[in-house]
Amino acid sequence: MSANPHHERDLLLQEARRLRSRQQVPAALATLARLQSLYPGFSRLYQERGHCHVLLRDAPAAIEALREAVRLNPTLPASWDMLEQLYRMSGDPAQAAMAAQNLAILKQLPQELVVANSLFADGDLPLAEDIIRDYLRTDGGNVGALRLLARLCTERNALAEAETLLESAVELALDYEEARFDLAAILLLQQKHQQAWRQTGHLLTHDPSNRDYLKQHCAACIALGDHEPVVDLCEKLLLGPSLSGAEVADLRLWRANALKVTGRQEEAVSDYHASLAARRDYGVAWFSLANLKTYSFTDAEIAQMRNAAGRSGMADMDSIYLCFALGKALEDRGDFAASWEYYERGNSARRRIGRYNMDSAEACAARSKRMFDAAFFSARSGWGVDDPAPIFIIGLPRSGSTLIEQILASHSKVEGTQELVEIGRYASELCGSDPDCDLPLSPEALQRLTAQGARALGERFLAETRAYRRLGRPYFIDKMPNNFWHVGLIHLILPRSTIIDVRREPMACCFSNLKQLFGTTNQEFTYGADDIARYYRVYLDMMRHWDDVLPGRVLRIPYEDVVEDLDSSTRRMLAHVGLPFEPACLAFHQTRRSVRTPSSEQVRQPISREGLTQWRNYAPWLDGLRAGLGDALTRYRN
């Protein structure tokens, strides 16, 4: 049996029970008050408080405490039993019947399942898992137990096991919608977007107005890059009754993001404003307006953001979003000193809540270079799938990859998709993942990959990315910049794919990263001058290594060359893919397609030289970045 991780909490509960048993009810309530201050979400303290108020013959107080207990933990038979009796004594037969019904349901369930569910609700996860695993050894087909064990696995990030358990539950009980809903969530967490979309679609065929199902289907559509349905799904959700301001703010934000990605900017701005009307200090909505890169904030809006950013008690991410939004707003006004102050505040706060470790990333680079030598590839010549369809655009974030994607996706034979996660996921499955940098932990594991396995992985990539290809074009783009780490794996499983390295001058590229806030846990190396400088240097080292062991495999495209001579750069890229030149590629800004990166609005405009020198406005504050880059300032051209 696992050790109790809540020893102090349980000692306080035992003390309160001891005091109650001795009729020292005021002292017991004082102990419970202390327990609540330390563990406010602990259901059994409220159940014990209910017992105390019953002894004091205070039925309203007892009911209030017990209602809170079953709200936090619906699997407390004693609480439901007391509630039934108290409601009957208070003359409320409807509530008494409801409590009796819940108690009857619990009595029909195996006791082990009730106990494990109760422990799960109170956060006693190891003990709950021990109990439910023991129970499943004798009743392996109990779908409720399978679902609970899957939830416990999810809590400790054992997502693959959780997926297997939920698949078993759904196979055993096709109408078990709660398990199917959990399965869709697990699939989304593992970035298995197409499978999640199928599950949410199945749920909606049975209950098309279920708000939770609609929201999860929205998430699956967004993950697949299918943003058009999201606009209507959010509109449907907004018609729901009695929506809270927070829910309206979220739905308007989701709808605005979908409108932005599909090129409907004016409508997007309107919905961002509607989101802020519902929640005026909603940091992500302010940031989303700034992240359009084309929105001009009014004096009143800047003042409102400044007031919000200076307010105590703001949630960390709201404050961070506001700092980056103010940095952009003040940059647009030419107030670079104040702008940098907010960018620096935002970066410092974001860095504090992250965990990225550049030492780990550098160690990963060293392991990869030792593993992927010329002999490794020579021994595996001819492996993988003989299909030229994938075009990988790699490099650093903010290097110009969205521009390159838009140029190539303007060709009649090429489809742009998004930053696909499949290659990184395969690397993690094969090599493990370093928790401090999300990079391959043991690249040596690829020594065990066979020719058959490499081919199967290439075929898997083509199959799993088919969901993102809606135009039926022979070539498609994966523009995940972080795939520069995985050039060796890409070559092994997709030897005829195209790989294009978009390289931007280091000061411009690194500064552009420092002023960009990325979503969730993406690109966590960008929130400090030292980290981004070291990362840029590692990137150069990795790309030089790939050039050495796979000469000619990767086409390097300097961003500055594209800006200065779009025609020549475009022809060079198309020739490398093996495609004839098409004039539409030069008119890329007229191509209508979904673009979901921070550069979405910029690539819908003609090419500009502005990005080449923006960093110079901040030169007084970038000495540390320049020093950190060192000789990368010149060797990036090599």
Residue position matching structure tokens 């439901």: 80
Contact 421, 480 (CB under 8 A): yes
In this structure, the number of other CB atoms found within 10 A of the CB of residue 624 comes to 12
Closest CA to 573 of 342, 393, 446, 372: 393
Buried b (16+ CB within 10 A) or exposed e, 467-478: bbeeeeeebbbb
Taking residues 31-50, what's their average pLDDT?
Answer: 96
Residue position matching structure tokens 């690397």: 427
Question: What is the residue-wise DSSP string for 294-324?
Answer: S----HHHHHHHHHHHT-TT--HHHHHHHHH
Closest CA to 579 of 463, 410, 459: 410
Residue 601 has pLDDT above 80, yes or no: no
What pLDDT score does 581 carry? 97
Closest CA to 256 of 238, 243, 281, 280: 238
The Cα 192–Cα 208 span in angstroms is: 23
Taking residues 393-409, what's their average pLDDT?
Answer: 95
pLDDT band at 2 (very low <50, low <70, confident <90, very high): very low
Mean pLDDT of the chain: 94
Contact 567, 500 (CB under 8 A): no
Residue position matching structure tokens 């030419």: 334
Residue 591 has pLDDT above 70, yes or no: yes
- Exposed (0-12), middle (13-18) or buried (19+): which is 192, by Cβ within 10 Å? buried
pLDDT digits (tens, 9 = 90+) for 130-176: 999 999 999 999 999 999 999 999 999 999 999 999 999 999 999 99
Closest CA to 458 of 445, 467, 449: 449
417: three-class secondary structure by DSSP: strand
Taking residues 112-121, what's their average pLDDT?
Answer: 95
The Cα 471–Cα 592 span in angstroms is: 13
Do β-strands 414-418 and 498-503 pair in parallel, antiparallel, or remain unpaired? unpaired
* Domains of the chain, earliest start first: 7-186 (1.25.40.10), 358-597+605-635 (3.40.50.300)
pLDDT band at 612 (very low <50, low <70, confident <90, very high): confident
What pLDDT score does 589 carry? 85
The Cα 451–Cα 384 span in angstroms is: 7
Closest CA to 69 of 56, 81, 58: 81
In this structure, the number of other CB atoms found within 10 A of the CB of residue 387 comes to 15
